[in-house]
Amino acid sequence: MKKLILSFIATLGFCACSQDVEDGRIQVDLIFHNGAVATIDPGLTVASTVAVKGEKIVAVGGADLLEEYVAGTMIDLKGNSLIPGFIDSHTHLRGHSRRYIDLTKTTSIEQIKGLVSRKVKELGTGEWISGYGWSEDFMAEERRPLRRDLDVAAPDNPVLLTRAGGHSAVMNSMALRRAEVDENTEQPEGGVIEKDDAGRLNGIIRERQEIVGRLIPGATFDEVKDSLVATLKAQLALGITSFTQATGSVAMSDQQSNWTHTYPQWEQIYHQYRGELPRAYIQVFWEGAESMEVFGKRSGEGDEHLRVGPVKIFVDGGFTGPAAYTKEPYRGESTYRGHLSIDPDDLTLVIRELNAAGWQSGIHAIGDAAIELVVDELAAALDESPRDDHRHYLNHFTVMPSSETMDKMADYGIAITQQPNFTYTLEGRYVDYLDGARLEHNNPLRSPMDHGIHVAISSDVLPIGPMVGLYSAVTRKGMSGRVFSEEERLTMMEALRAYTLFGAYLSFEENIKGSIEPGKLADLVVLDRDLLTINSEQIMETKVLQTWLGGRLVYEYEGS
């Protein structure tokens, strides 16, 4: 297969074809031909040829377009796929300080300990160490890293390592001591400080890890900028040409948060690297009506490279804790239903203020109780201050709410950005914490769509690569191969549309991107196989061969 891929890639190089336009053909810059072009147009047409001039698509159709158009660059797709660039409508991309360890590919606690020990040698005794990306589902030891593990690796350095997904973290004894957290510390509102069977801290804090993390020294933006730019460019290799950054703020700060970049910082990067980075839609936190007025921008303002996104509100926790707010207790629990992350009265105030001020909202709601609360609040705000095209939406929507709530979402135009990849990567968490219909219908797709709700697909970094999301959307399989509620499956064409055009809708940009149609930006991805015809088990083997942003080649697979 590798030889076939490399052979195909060799044909994708630029072919300088000098053509005389006097033969009546229209001169364009770029033509893709002889492929399976999933246009994602209203008819979900599959074409074979696309002509591009400048940043825009000028024609889409069959092989007969080659008689109408001529280009200096001809790309023979050899029957493989051309699709619109993926639009990841909920992700977290950020730069990292010198204290940071990337744990996203770790497969054992021993490996984590080794990385921590090396960072101790690099930084010296007493320095804070942070990291992100571990998951017990991938650990050879089949458990989470705990305080005792980090104490061995770093007895004299405070350490805080965040789990993949960001809803819990493990820290060592020195970090807990510096934060003055011990066995007598009261449980924080909306979170859990875990203890072992003997009543001692095990080092895990769910949802409220900032009670320790607040002590980690912030980095300057200059320190994290290069790594942020590298992270952004890495999205292009995944075929992601647009994304919504799920955490941001409106205020400029000299010290960089370990989690959030400010909108002025995004402006700085996108001014310097204009046209080189995937298009961005930046969510911001609500900082009060007065502060938002001083900020002076609203959702959707900006240009095709960088825009202000919706207001982000955390309403409950996640399932890696677990802390999502559910209507019924978790499996095996008599009363525990997770937590709200915001006081209901404060939620009412914020939603009504932002809606009345003309902002869009993108609200984190995972548990069914949280979802129903948010939908009721959004509906009440829209009744009070009606808007024709608000595009409020929910992030996640993991535990399916009542049919009545989904009907209300459709009636009020409340959308969803869903992560089917969670069904794959978080399978173990759902099996541990959920049961019955709420387990089988985790991260539902077909049900909300059938209710008339607009459903986009995104990643939330678990993992970022779109192929896992597409695979889970069409198979409903977890990591073990178990199938969860086949009723929630999408076709591949539906999944592609949800990962492209429907994401563009959430940023008010469906008229300029998200499908392969004349007049739209030429944000395009060449794949090494036809996703519409391959066996579903081949989806995660699919490679991105080229990524084009506005008609410019911004990524090419190594060796091509």
* The two three-digit tokens of residue 120, written as one number: 């101790």
User: How many whole angstroms separate alpha carbon 161 and alpha carbon 101?
Assistant: 8
Burial of 151 (0-12, 13-18, 19+ CB in 10 A): middle
* The two three-digit tokens of residue 70, written as one number: 């001529």
- Which domains are assigned to the chain? 2-85+519-556 (2.30.40.10), 98-213 (3.10.310.70), 220-506 (3.20.20.140)
* The two three-digit tokens of residue 8, written as one number: 């195909």
Residue 75, CB-side half-sphere exposure with 13 Å CA sphere: 33
Task: Give me the residue label for tokens 């009265």.
Answer: 345
Burial of 486 (0-12, 13-18, 19+ CB in 10 A): exposed
φ, ψ for residue 390, nearest 5 deg:
-75, -40
Task: Give me the residue label for tokens 């705000």.
Answer: 381
Task: Give me the residue label for tokens 């977290």.
Answer: 92
Angle in degrees, 0-180, between the axes of helices 263-272 and 221-237, rounded to the nearest 10? 60
Hey, how many other C-beta atoms are within 10 angstroms of the C-beta on 153?
22
The SS3 call for residue 149 is: helix
Model's pTM, two decimal places? 0.86
Q: Which of 415, 317, 314 is nearest to 89 (CA)?
A: 415
Strand segments (E) across 224-381: 240-245, 248-249, 255-256, 261-262, 279-285, 306-314, 361-365
Instruction: Tell me how far the alpha carbon of residue 547 is from its chain's centroid.
Output: 18
Burial of 29 (0-12, 13-18, 19+ CB in 10 A): middle
Burial of 21 (0-12, 13-18, 19+ CB in 10 A): exposed
Q: Which of 169, 168, 140, 174 is nearest to 156 (CA)?
A: 174
Q: What tens-digit pLDDT sequence spans the chain (560 residues)?
A: 333 333 333 344 434 344 445 478 999 999 999 999 999 999 999 999 999 999 999 999 999 999 999 999 999 999 999 999 999 999 999 888 899 999 988 999 999 999 999 999 999 999 999 998 899 988 999 999 999 999 999 999 999 999 987 888 999 999 999 999 999 999 998 789 999 999 999 999 998 888 999 999 888 888 889 999 999 999 999 999 999 999 888 875 444 454 578 999 999 999 999 999 999 999 999 988 888 999 999 999 999 999 999 999 999 988 876 889 999 999 999 999 998 999 999 999 999 999 999 999 999 999 999 999 999 999 999 999 999 999 999 999 999 999 999 999 999 999 999 999 999 999 998 999 999 999 999 999 999 999 999 999 999 988 888 999 999 999 999 999 999 999 999 999 999 999 999 999 999 999 999 999 999 999 999 999 999 999 999 999 999 999 999 999 999 998 66
Report CA-CA distances (Å) from 113 to 62, 124, 370: 56, 16, 37
